[in-house]
Structure 1
Amino acid sequence: MSFQVYLSGEIHTDWRDEIRRGVEAAGLDVVLTSPVTDHDASDAAGDHLGEEREGFWRDHRSSKVNAIRTRTLIAASDLVVVRFGDKYKQWNAAFDAGYCAALGKPYVTLHSEEIVHPLKEVDAEAMAWARTTDQVVKILEHVLRES
């Protein structure tokens, strides 16, 4: 069974690569997708539409262009993994989790125990809370198990 997994959230560590390596090592038939993870490219997603003098409007326009990718890939996915890092507030990741909940799309959160409390509502809708990328791979192995 082939599975589409969207990897949402934090862009400052290599957690996506860890999951990719784990999926490959386990021989899983999984296609991993994600948002644009180059911060500058994401911020500039709408710049080709014209110059903006105010930061708010530049961010607003770029967020809408980025949302085309995000919404399309989330809708096409079988599962979404939403990573929350400890260093930055990932409001976009929280939004993606809420979007998944609204769509009835299963998602797994990935974060440390230190931020359980602020994420209690997000975790309450998740199918699982993982602390490590290895745990995410184990979830995928179980879901894709033939028998």
Structure 2
Amino acid sequence: MTLKVYLSGEIHTDWRDQIIQGAQGLDVSFDSPVTDHAASDDCGVEILGAEPDKFWHDRKGAQLNAIRTRKGIADADVVVVRFGDQYKQWNAAFDAGQAAALGKSLIVLHGPDHAHALKEVDAAALAVAQEPHQVVDILRYVLTGKLPG
């Protein structure tokens, strides 16, 4: 069995790298949104032209990024959505909702401080992890039936 995993959510820490490195040797492929913050923010105006109003600047970027995000979530077997501590990731919550609406296997990753705020998102998930290594352990278990240790 091969799993296609889409890694969505915060872009300010190395959680994606931890999961990808930890999953070495497993039959898993990974995809994610563009994690270069400046490129993600400015792709719309760089490609389609400048906007004097920040609203339209941001909207152009969000719409271009949505092409990649929709395709990544639609093609994924498993969607992992990470909520970081530093910023409110409304886009991550939106991605989790899309994954749930599409019936994707959803793993939510966040610390205990977000448990109350994300209770509805957590309820839609098949697993709620606090650390990237737990996501790796889930993937290993799903693929091999082996428990960590």
Please confirm whether the aligned pair reaches a TM-score higher than 0.5, indicating the same fold. yes
Q: Which runs of 4+ in 1 moved over 4 A?
A: none
How far off its partner does 1:72 sit? 0.2
State the alpha-carbon separation in 2 of the partners of residues 122 and 106 from structure 1: 13
Residue 130 of structure 1 aligns with an amino acid whose one-letter code is A
| Structure 1 residues 7-31: Cα deviation after superposition (integer angstroms, max 9, x where no partner) | 000100000000011001xx10110
User: Residues 40-119 of structure 1: matches in 2 within 5 Å?
Assistant: 40-47=38-45, 48-119=47-118
Q: Which ranges of structure 1 fall in alignment gaps of 5 or more residues?
A: none
- 2:132 counterpart residue number: 133
1:33 to 28, 31, 34: 31
Cα distance, 1:2 vs. partner? Answer: 1.2
Q: Distance in 2 between matches of 1:68 and 1:33?
A: 13
Provide the C-alpha distance between the structure 2 equivalents of 1:30 and 1:101, rounded to a whole number of angstroms.
Answer: 21
CA offset digits 1:20-61 (Å, max 9, x no partner): 11001xx10110110000100000121111110000001011
> SS of 2:4's equivalent?
strand
1:44 aligned counterpart, secondary structure: helix
How far apart are the structure 1 equivalents of 2:104 and 2:3?
A: 13
Q: CA deviation at 1:146?
A: 6.2
Aligned alpha-carbon RMSD (Å) = 1.0
SS in structure 1 of the partner of residue 30 of structure 2 = strand
TM-score (norm 1): 0.96
In structure 2, the residue corresponding to 1:87 is in which secondary structure? coil
CA distance in 2, matches of 1:146, 1:55: 49
State the SS of the aligned residue for 1:93: helix
Which letter does structure 2 place at the counterpart of 1:66?
A: N
TM-score normalised by the chain length of structure 2 = 0.95
Identity %: 60
1:22 is matched with which residue? 22
CA distance in 2, matches of 1:91, 1:44: 18
| AA of the residue aligned to 2:93 | A
Counterpart for residue 11 of structure 2: 11
